[in-house]
């Protein structure tokens, strides 16, 4: 069906208000499907990004870089109100969007046209504000934002301000949009698996929405292809407790060392001329002696982080071919001894400034364990054995890239011995992969499995657990100075997040302060719709499910209050896992595997 109605920003604001007033995830999905149906094909991409509170997908972020005090100034300029009064209102209500919604703005020649502004117009103006750079850019951003606010009706002003400060407060993610796209076409989740597959290969939910709108879910297999410059969602490992289970479920396996480093997806081209790939690509690395050699890297969270890895500038010397996408683990090493350093030191390389000094102190080696694309061809559907053969033909010996060692076996005893050998080396153990398995983004089936600790008795944890922080409790007594006294941690069950631990002991003062600072940036006013929490465990402050923590515990016990039905006995923080996202949080099934319950 064709839609001749151009989406007005006022109409989009009405949809956002409906979503904000809804707590049920299925209802939110239905509202989003309505919104997609009403939008024109050419504006669906913009609409989807705006309802997610962004201008572009995560891997190609375009941020406003406007501090709240600068947004306060823009509101003051738009309304004629004093900065002090706006700050006072903000401190009282805690929402700058609501502050501007309730204020009258200065009269302009567009007073009678405020309800006619199209989504495309507003989006392009927001994009222009974000793209302002150079001397005086902050002042220009303030003036442009004030001017934009003057051209919108109250509800629209509220949502524009929230988008600019990164606090849209609607409580859903890309995954809800994927559900809505299936619901848009089928009235059910019938097409959800196809949409999810497309998203894992091409994680730009705005583009996927545009393609579904134009050609339906059936068009995604053709359109959502591996593309240089767009990260593929990382393949993730499940957990099984014993070597025998692994061989039983997986058959012949490739067994590799499990490094304690940080996952890096490397996109490289010897002569990159594709404008679409390099647009916004000022962060890509170009080797000085080879101006057209191009490198870009992404975290497993889809963040572009190329500038952190100057080691990769000349990797073309180690690559046979014209272009490739490599899956690697970056591990720091001691420049004097050549030995690998702990994760805590490797992660110090995660910085925007002082990279050259950090490179000297903690140089990195990139252990390459997979190849996803080479010379214009996707390799995702090739077997692991085939991909490793291509990898060995592609990577030459050198200082930066190194193909990880591996054995192929279908013998549980040999698997266990290899695992024990890796532990003795100080590594995390073994990573076990189905030899005939395709590269499957996300956590799917028994394609990849972790084998980290020695097998233990029932109830005892054979591995740590990666949980997501759902909220925190106010600090009392001596912890009052930290801002929090404990945090609530959850694990996954499908798309729901269920509680498993309340953690407030075993943290250093520095860890309390660090966690509080991070959680302050993730605060939300209402509980996420995907959170299931017993009323006796509700925290003082809810947060977005973005901070992943690695936790150890003595054992897992049954629990009548935790919604996962399990509790961690004597849980303790191992480390923050900022390199991981919600997809990589441990599932309830994995908890049972780890504990053997």
Residues noted as catalytic: 258
Q: What is the rounded distance in angstroms from the CA atom of residue 88 to the CA atom of residue 460?
A: 53
CA distance 465 to 553: 8
Geometric angle at alpha carbon 149, from 148 and 151, rounded to 5°: 70
Of the candidates 581, 597, 557, 583, the residue with the CA atom closest to the CA atom of residue 238? 583
CB 101 within 8 A of CB 157: yes
DSSP secondary structure string for all residues of 349-379: G--SSSHHHHHHHS-EEEEEEEEEEETTEE-
Give the position of tokens 């890239």. Answer: 401
Which residues 6+ apart lie within 8 Å of 426 measured at CB? Answer: 340
Q: Are residues 208 and 195 in contact, defined by beta-carbon separation less than 8 angstroms?
A: yes
Angle value at C-alpha 254, between 250 and 258, nearest 5 degrees = 105
How many Å apart are CA 215 and CA 21, to the nearest integer? 32
Residue 134, phi then psi, degrees to nearest 5: 90, -175
CA distance 170 to 52: 8
Q: What is the C-alpha radius of gyration for the chain, rounded to an integer number of angstroms?
A: 25
Q: Give the residue carrying structure tokens 């923590």.
A: 549
CA distance 81 to 72: 10
Contact partners, residue 7, CB within 8 Å, separation at least 6? 38, 39, 40, 43, 47, 118, 119, 120
φ, ψ dihedrals at 169, nearest 5°: 65, 35
3-state SS, residue 145: helix
CA angle 597, 576, 422 (to 5 degrees): 65
Pairing verdict, β 364-374 and 377-378:
antiparallel
d(CA 148, CA 139): 14
The secondary structure element, H or E, covering residue 299 is: none
At 494, list the tokens.
Answer: 């499908």
For 544, counting Cβ atoms within 10 Å of its Cβ (0-12 exposed, 13-18 middle, 19+ buried), the class is buried
Q: Are 591 and 480 in contact (CB under 8 A)?
A: no
Q: What is the DSSP string of 514-548?
A: HHHHHHHTTEESS--TTEE--GGG--SEEE-TT-E
């Amino acid at each position: 069906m064709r839609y001749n109605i151009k989406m007005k920003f006022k109409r989009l604001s009405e949809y956002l208000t409906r979503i904000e007033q809804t707590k049920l995830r299925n209802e939110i999905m239905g509202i989003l499907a309505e919104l997609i149906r009403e939008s024109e094909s050419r504006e669906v991409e913009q609409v989807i990004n705006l309802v997610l509170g962004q201008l572009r997908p995560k891997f190609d972020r375009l941020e406003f870089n406007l501090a709240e005090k600068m947004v306060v100034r823009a509101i003051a300029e738009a309304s004629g109100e004093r900065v002090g009064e706006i700050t006072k209102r903000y401190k009282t209500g805690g929402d700058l969007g609501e502050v501007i919604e309730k204020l009258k703005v200065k009269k302009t020649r567009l007073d009678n046209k405020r309800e006619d502004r199209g989504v495309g117009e507003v989006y392009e103006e927001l994009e222009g504000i974000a793209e302002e750079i150079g001397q005086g850019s902050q002042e220009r951003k303030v003036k442009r934002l004030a001017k934009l606010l003057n051209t919108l009706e109250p509800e629209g002003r509220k949502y524009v301000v929230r988008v600019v400060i990164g606090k849209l407060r609607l409580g859903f993610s890309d995954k809800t949009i994927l559900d809505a796209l299936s619901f848009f076409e089928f009235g059910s989740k019938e097409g959800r698996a196809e949409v999810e597959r497309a998203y894992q290969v091409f994680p730009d939910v705005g583009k996927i929405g545009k393609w579904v709108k134009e050609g339906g879910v059936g068009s995604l297999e053709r359109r959502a292809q591996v593309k240089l410059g767009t990260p593929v969602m990382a393949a993730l490992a499940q957990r099984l407790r014993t070597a025998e289970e692994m061989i039983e479920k997986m058959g012949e396996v490739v067994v590799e060392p499990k490094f304690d480093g940080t996952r890096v997806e490397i996109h490289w081209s010897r002569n990159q001329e594709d404008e679409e790939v390099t647009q916004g690509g000022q962060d890509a690395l170009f080797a000085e002696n080879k101006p057209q050699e191009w490198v870009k890297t992404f975290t497993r969270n889809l963040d572009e982080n190329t500038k952190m890895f100057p080691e990769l500038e000349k990797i073309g010397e180690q690559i046979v071919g014209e272009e490739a996408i490599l899956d690697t683990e970056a591990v720091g090493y001691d420049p004097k001894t050549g030995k690998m350093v702990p994760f805590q030191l490797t992660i110090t390389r995660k910085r925007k400034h002082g990279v050259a000094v950090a490179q000297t102190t903690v140089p990195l080696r990139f252990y390459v364990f997979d190849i996803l694309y080479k010379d214009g061809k996707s390799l995702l559907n090739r077997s692991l054995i085939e991909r490793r053969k291509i990898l060995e033909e592609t990577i030459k010996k050198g200082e930066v890239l190194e193909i990880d060692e591996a054995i192929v076996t279908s013998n549980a005893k040999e698997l266990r011995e290899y695992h024990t050998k890796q532990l003795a080396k100080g590594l995390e153990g073994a990573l076990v992969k189905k030899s005939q398995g395709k590269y499957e983004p996300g956590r799917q089936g028994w394609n990849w499995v972790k084998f980290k600790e020695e097998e233990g008795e029932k109830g005892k944890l054979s591995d740590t657990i990666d949980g997501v922080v759902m909220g925190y409790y106010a600090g009392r007594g001596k912890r009052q100075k930290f801002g929090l006294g404990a945090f609530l941690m959850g694990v996954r069950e499908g798309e729901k997040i269920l509680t498993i631990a309340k953690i407030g002991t075993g943290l250093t003062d520095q860890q309390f302060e660090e966690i509080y600072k991070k959680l302050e940036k993730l605060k939300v006013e209402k509980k996420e719709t995907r959170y299931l929490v017993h009323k006796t465990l509700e925290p003082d402050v809810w947060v977005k499910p973005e901070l992943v923590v690695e936790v150890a515990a003595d054992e897992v016990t049954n629990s009548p209050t935790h919604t996962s039905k399990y509790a961690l006995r004597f849980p303790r923080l191992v480390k923050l896992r900022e390199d991981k996202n919600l997809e990589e949080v441990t599932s309830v099934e994995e908890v049972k595997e780890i504990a053997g319950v």
